Amino acid sequence: MPPRPVDISLIISSRNRAYGLKNCLDAVSVAASHAAYLRLELVFVDNGSTDETSEIVSTWALTAPIQTNLIFEGRPGLAVARNTGMTAARGRVLAFTDDDCEVFPDYFATLAALFASDTEMVMRGGRIELGDARDLPVTIKPELEPAVLTSELHAGGFIHGANMAFPHGLIDKVGLFDTRFGAGATFRSGEDTDYVHRTFNAGVRVEYLPEFAVKHFHGRREIADVKKLQSGYAFGNGALYAKYLFDRRSNMRGMLRWDIRQAIMEAMGRRKLSDDLGLTYRSQLRDNLVGMLAYWRGPKAEHTA
Protein backbone atom coordinates (compact mmCIF):
# COMPACT_ATOMS: atom_id res chain seq x y z
CA MET A 1 0.00 0.00 0.00
CA PRO A 2 1.46 3.41 -0.96
CA PRO A 3 2.12 5.87 1.89
CA ARG A 4 -0.69 8.26 2.77
CA PRO A 5 -0.35 11.72 1.24
CA VAL A 6 0.72 14.47 3.64
CA ASP A 7 -0.82 17.93 3.78
CA ILE A 8 1.96 19.74 5.68
CA SER A 9 5.55 18.75 6.48
CA LEU A 10 7.15 20.78 9.27
CA ILE A 11 10.94 20.77 8.92
CA ILE A 12 13.12 21.50 11.96
CA SER A 13 16.91 21.32 11.98
CA SER A 14 18.96 21.14 15.17
CA ARG A 15 22.53 20.71 16.32
CA ASN A 16 23.53 20.05 19.94
CA ARG A 17 20.48 21.65 21.51
CA ALA A 18 19.12 18.69 23.44
CA TYR A 19 18.75 20.87 26.53
CA GLY A 20 16.14 23.09 24.85
CA LEU A 21 14.15 20.78 22.59
CA LYS A 22 11.31 19.78 24.91
CA ASN A 23 9.39 23.06 24.68
CA CYS A 24 9.81 23.19 20.90
CA LEU A 25 8.56 19.63 20.43
CA ASP A 26 5.73 19.96 22.94
CA ALA A 27 4.45 23.03 21.09
CA VAL A 28 4.40 20.98 17.88
CA SER A 29 2.36 18.33 19.72
CA VAL A 30 -0.21 20.89 20.84
CA ALA A 31 -0.53 22.38 17.36
CA ALA A 32 -0.88 18.93 15.80
CA SER A 33 -3.59 18.03 18.31
CA HIS A 34 -5.50 21.15 17.28
CA ALA A 35 -5.36 20.02 13.64
CA ALA A 36 -6.09 16.30 13.91
CA TYR A 37 -8.10 16.47 10.68
CA LEU A 38 -4.90 17.22 8.73
CA ARG A 39 -2.27 14.75 7.54
CA LEU A 40 0.90 16.07 9.13
CA GLU A 41 4.50 15.05 9.48
CA LEU A 42 7.51 16.40 11.33
CA VAL A 43 10.82 16.02 9.52
CA PHE A 44 13.46 16.54 12.19
CA VAL A 45 17.04 16.80 10.97
CA ASP A 46 19.74 16.18 13.56
CA ASN A 47 22.62 18.11 12.01
CA GLY A 48 25.55 16.15 13.40
CA SER A 49 24.75 16.53 17.10
CA THR A 50 27.08 14.97 19.65
CA ASP A 51 24.58 15.28 22.50
CA GLU A 52 21.27 13.48 23.11
CA THR A 53 19.30 15.35 20.44
CA SER A 54 18.29 12.24 18.44
CA GLU A 55 17.41 10.28 21.56
CA ILE A 56 15.15 13.06 22.84
CA VAL A 57 13.32 13.31 19.52
CA SER A 58 12.96 9.53 19.25
CA THR A 59 11.48 9.27 22.74
CA TRP A 60 9.11 12.19 22.14
CA ALA A 61 7.96 10.73 18.81
CA LEU A 62 6.73 7.53 20.49
CA THR A 63 3.69 9.35 21.89
CA ALA A 64 3.52 12.44 19.68
CA PRO A 65 0.30 13.09 17.72
CA ILE A 66 2.28 13.66 14.52
CA GLN A 67 4.19 11.28 12.29
CA THR A 68 7.90 11.94 12.79
CA ASN A 69 10.80 11.29 10.43
CA LEU A 70 14.09 11.68 12.30
CA ILE A 71 17.11 12.04 10.01
CA PHE A 72 20.76 12.31 11.00
CA GLU A 73 22.70 14.60 8.65
CA GLY A 74 26.41 14.64 9.48
CA ARG A 75 27.41 17.40 7.08
CA PRO A 76 27.32 20.68 9.02
CA GLY A 77 25.30 23.72 8.03
CA LEU A 78 21.71 24.91 8.33
CA ALA A 79 21.22 25.01 4.56
CA VAL A 80 22.53 21.45 4.24
CA ALA A 81 20.15 20.28 6.96
CA ARG A 82 17.19 22.10 5.41
CA ASN A 83 17.97 20.57 2.02
CA THR A 84 18.03 17.13 3.62
CA GLY A 85 14.66 17.81 5.23
CA MET A 86 13.13 19.15 2.03
CA THR A 87 14.31 16.13 0.05
CA ALA A 88 12.76 13.74 2.57
CA ALA A 89 9.51 15.67 3.15
CA ARG A 90 6.29 14.33 1.58
CA GLY A 91 3.95 17.21 2.34
CA ARG A 92 2.12 19.30 -0.21
CA VAL A 93 3.22 22.30 1.86
CA LEU A 94 6.67 22.54 3.43
CA ALA A 95 6.91 24.64 6.59
CA PHE A 96 10.05 25.62 8.50
CA THR A 97 10.79 26.71 12.03
CA ASP A 98 13.85 26.58 14.29
CA ASP A 99 14.72 24.47 17.31
CA ASP A 100 14.57 27.52 19.61
CA CYS A 101 11.04 28.42 18.50
CA GLU A 102 7.59 27.35 19.64
CA VAL A 103 4.70 27.27 17.16
CA PHE A 104 1.33 28.63 18.28
CA PRO A 105 -1.54 26.17 18.87
CA ASP A 106 -3.32 27.18 15.66
CA TYR A 107 -0.16 26.94 13.55
CA PHE A 108 -1.08 23.96 11.34
CA ALA A 109 -4.73 24.90 11.05
CA THR A 110 -3.84 28.43 9.96
CA LEU A 111 -1.26 27.23 7.44
CA ALA A 112 -3.72 24.79 5.91
CA ALA A 113 -6.32 27.53 5.53
CA LEU A 114 -3.84 29.94 3.94
CA PHE A 115 -2.73 27.44 1.28
CA ALA A 116 -6.08 25.75 0.72
CA SER A 117 -7.44 27.92 -2.07
CA ASP A 118 -4.25 28.84 -3.95
CA THR A 119 -4.46 28.62 -7.71
CA GLU A 120 -0.82 29.58 -8.17
CA MET A 121 2.41 29.09 -6.24
CA VAL A 122 2.93 31.36 -3.21
CA MET A 123 5.69 31.53 -0.59
CA ARG A 124 4.54 32.79 2.80
CA GLY A 125 6.25 33.93 5.97
CA GLY A 126 4.67 34.56 9.33
CA ARG A 127 4.98 36.50 12.56
CA ILE A 128 7.85 35.84 14.98
CA GLU A 129 7.24 37.02 18.53
CA LEU A 130 9.82 37.41 21.26
CA GLY A 131 9.41 34.31 23.41
CA ASP A 132 11.19 35.56 26.54
CA ALA A 133 10.91 39.21 27.60
CA ARG A 134 14.42 39.01 29.06
CA ASP A 135 15.87 38.51 25.55
CA LEU A 136 16.77 41.54 23.45
CA PRO A 137 14.32 42.37 20.62
CA VAL A 138 16.26 40.87 17.72
CA THR A 139 15.62 38.02 15.25
CA ILE A 140 11.89 38.65 15.53
CA LYS A 141 9.21 40.00 13.19
CA PRO A 142 6.20 41.19 15.17
CA GLU A 143 4.52 43.26 12.42
CA LEU A 144 0.74 42.90 12.36
CA GLU A 145 0.15 44.19 8.83
CA PRO A 146 0.35 41.81 5.86
CA ALA A 147 2.74 42.68 3.04
CA VAL A 148 3.79 41.49 -0.42
CA LEU A 149 7.42 41.52 -1.55
CA THR A 150 8.19 43.93 -4.39
CA SER A 151 11.37 44.91 -6.24
CA GLU A 152 11.63 48.00 -4.02
CA LEU A 153 11.93 45.90 -0.87
CA HIS A 154 14.89 43.91 0.47
CA ALA A 155 14.32 40.16 0.65
CA GLY A 156 16.41 40.12 3.83
CA GLY A 157 14.08 40.14 6.82
CA PHE A 158 10.93 40.31 4.71
CA ILE A 159 10.20 36.80 5.90
CA HIS A 160 12.43 34.71 8.15
CA GLY A 161 13.54 31.11 7.83
CA ALA A 162 12.31 30.55 11.39
CA ASN A 163 8.72 30.84 10.12
CA MET A 164 8.16 30.31 6.41
CA ALA A 165 6.23 27.92 4.21
CA PHE A 166 5.80 27.14 0.53
CA PRO A 167 4.44 24.43 -1.78
CA HIS A 168 6.62 21.38 -2.30
CA GLY A 169 6.59 22.16 -6.01
CA LEU A 170 8.70 25.26 -5.43
CA ILE A 171 11.75 22.98 -5.21
CA ASP A 172 11.32 22.06 -8.87
CA LYS A 173 11.10 25.74 -9.81
CA VAL A 174 13.80 27.25 -7.57
CA GLY A 175 15.97 24.37 -6.38
CA LEU A 176 17.43 23.79 -2.94
CA PHE A 177 19.15 26.15 -0.53
CA ASP A 178 22.62 27.40 -1.43
CA THR A 179 24.75 25.50 1.06
CA ARG A 180 27.43 28.20 1.19
CA PHE A 181 25.03 30.39 3.18
CA GLY A 182 23.48 30.04 6.64
CA ALA A 183 24.61 29.10 10.12
CA GLY A 184 27.53 26.68 10.08
CA ALA A 185 28.51 27.56 6.50
CA THR A 186 31.11 29.77 4.85
CA PHE A 187 28.95 32.90 4.73
CA ARG A 188 27.34 32.45 8.19
CA SER A 189 23.84 33.68 7.32
CA GLY A 190 21.50 34.61 4.48
CA GLU A 191 20.35 31.18 3.27
CA ASP A 192 16.72 32.21 3.78
CA THR A 193 17.25 35.65 2.18
CA ASP A 194 18.83 33.97 -0.84
CA TYR A 195 15.95 31.51 -1.17
CA VAL A 196 13.33 34.24 -0.87
CA HIS A 197 15.20 36.33 -3.45
CA ARG A 198 15.44 33.44 -5.90
CA THR A 199 11.76 32.68 -5.40
CA PHE A 200 10.79 36.28 -6.15
CA ASN A 201 13.07 36.38 -9.21
CA ALA A 202 11.34 33.23 -10.47
CA GLY A 203 8.07 35.17 -10.58
CA VAL A 204 6.54 33.58 -7.48
CA ARG A 205 4.48 35.75 -5.14
CA VAL A 206 6.07 36.19 -1.68
CA GLU A 207 3.79 37.24 1.19
CA TYR A 208 4.22 38.15 4.83
CA LEU A 209 1.11 37.22 6.81
CA PRO A 210 0.92 37.66 10.59
CA GLU A 211 -1.82 35.04 11.00
CA PHE A 212 0.58 32.14 11.51
CA ALA A 213 3.12 32.71 14.21
CA VAL A 214 5.91 31.31 16.35
CA LYS A 215 7.68 32.45 19.51
CA HIS A 216 11.45 32.79 19.36
CA PHE A 217 13.49 32.01 22.48
CA HIS A 218 16.88 33.10 21.14
CA GLY A 219 18.55 33.77 24.50
CA ARG A 220 20.59 36.83 23.50
CA ARG A 221 20.61 39.28 26.39
CA GLU A 222 23.96 41.04 25.98
CA ILE A 223 24.70 43.85 23.52
CA ALA A 224 27.90 42.06 22.49
CA ASP A 225 25.86 39.05 21.38
CA VAL A 226 23.61 41.25 19.26
CA LYS A 227 26.57 43.01 17.65
CA LYS A 228 28.10 39.64 16.76
CA LEU A 229 24.78 38.48 15.31
CA GLN A 230 24.32 41.66 13.29
CA SER A 231 27.88 41.40 11.98
CA GLY A 232 27.15 37.88 10.74
CA TYR A 233 23.96 39.02 9.03
CA ALA A 234 25.77 41.90 7.30
CA PHE A 235 28.60 39.57 6.24
CA GLY A 236 26.08 37.17 4.70
CA ASN A 237 24.22 40.00 2.97
CA GLY A 238 27.53 41.19 1.52
CA ALA A 239 28.13 37.74 0.08
CA LEU A 240 24.64 37.88 -1.45
CA TYR A 241 25.37 41.30 -2.95
CA ALA A 242 28.43 39.77 -4.63
CA LYS A 243 26.48 36.72 -5.79
CA TYR A 244 23.91 38.86 -7.62
CA LEU A 245 26.04 41.88 -8.55
CA PHE A 246 25.92 41.09 -12.27
CA ASP A 247 22.42 39.57 -12.38
CA ARG A 248 20.14 42.01 -14.17
CA ARG A 249 17.04 40.36 -12.72
CA SER A 250 18.18 41.09 -9.18
CA ASN A 251 17.57 44.17 -7.05
CA MET A 252 20.52 43.37 -4.77
CA ARG A 253 22.57 46.19 -6.30
CA GLY A 254 19.87 48.60 -5.22
CA MET A 255 20.02 47.20 -1.70
CA LEU A 256 23.80 47.65 -1.64
CA ARG A 257 23.39 51.26 -2.80
CA TRP A 258 20.87 51.79 0.01
CA ASP A 259 23.35 50.46 2.58
CA ILE A 260 26.07 52.76 1.23
CA ARG A 261 23.73 55.75 1.32
CA GLN A 262 22.69 55.05 4.92
CA ALA A 263 26.33 54.78 6.01
CA ILE A 264 27.16 58.11 4.34
CA MET A 265 24.15 59.85 5.90
CA GLU A 266 25.08 58.44 9.31
CA ALA A 267 28.61 59.81 8.93
CA MET A 268 27.03 63.21 8.26
CA GLY A 269 25.18 63.10 11.56
CA ARG A 270 21.95 61.33 10.67
CA ARG A 271 20.49 58.48 12.76
CA LYS A 272 22.34 55.27 13.50
CA LEU A 273 21.04 51.81 12.72
CA SER A 274 20.10 51.39 16.41
CA ASP A 275 21.17 53.67 19.23
CA ASP A 276 19.71 51.32 21.83
CA LEU A 277 21.70 48.33 20.62
CA GLY A 278 24.80 50.26 19.57
CA LEU A 279 24.51 49.25 15.91
CA THR A 280 25.73 51.50 13.10
CA TYR A 281 25.24 51.57 9.35
CA ARG A 282 28.98 52.11 8.92
CA SER A 283 29.89 48.88 10.69
CA GLN A 284 27.16 47.12 8.71
CA LEU A 285 28.63 48.39 5.44
CA ARG A 286 32.10 47.31 6.55
CA ASP A 287 30.84 43.78 7.13
CA ASN A 288 28.96 43.90 3.81
CA LEU A 289 32.20 44.65 1.98
CA VAL A 290 34.09 41.93 3.86
CA GLY A 291 31.35 39.48 2.87
CA MET A 292 31.58 40.53 -0.76
CA LEU A 293 35.32 39.90 -0.80
CA ALA A 294 34.83 36.54 0.91
CA TYR A 295 32.30 35.52 -1.73
CA TRP A 296 34.65 36.26 -4.62
CA ARG A 297 37.39 34.26 -2.91
CA GLY A 298 35.13 31.52 -1.60
CA PRO A 299 33.73 28.17 -2.76
CA LYS A 300 31.56 27.69 -5.81
CA ALA A 301 27.84 27.06 -5.43
CA GLU A 302 26.48 23.56 -5.02
CA HIS A 303 22.76 24.51 -5.11
CA THR A 304 21.67 27.62 -7.00
CA ALA A 305 18.76 28.76 -9.10
Of the pLDDT bands very low, low, confident and very high (cuts 50, 70, 90), residue 1 is: very low
Residue 3: the pLDDT is 61
As a whole number, the mean pLDDT across the chain is 95
Whether 134 has a pLDDT exceeding 90, the answer reads yes
**Strand locations in the chain (E):** 6-14, 40-46, 67-72, 91-98, 101-103, 122-130, 147-148, 163-167, 205-216
Of the pLDDT bands very low, low, confident and very high (cuts 50, 70, 90), residue 4 is: low
Please say whether the structural domain 6-216 has been given the CATH code 3.90.550.10: yes
Backbone torsions φ then ψ of 227, nearest 5 degrees: -60, -40
Q: What's the rounded Cα separation, in Å, for the pair 292 and 139?
A: 23
Instruction: Note the pLDDT tens digit of each residue in 93-118.
Output: 999 999 999 999 999 999 999 999 99
Whether 226 has a pLDDT exceeding 90, the answer reads yes
Residue 167: the pLDDT is 98
Q: Where are the domains of the chain?
A: 6-216, 223-297
Helix (H, G, I), strand (E, B) or coil at 206: strand
- pLDDT, average across residues 40-44: 98
Whether 303 has a pLDDT exceeding 60, the answer reads no
Instruction: Note the pLDDT tens digit of each residue in 252-298.
Output: 999 999 999 999 999 999 889 998 888 999 999 999 999 999 999 98
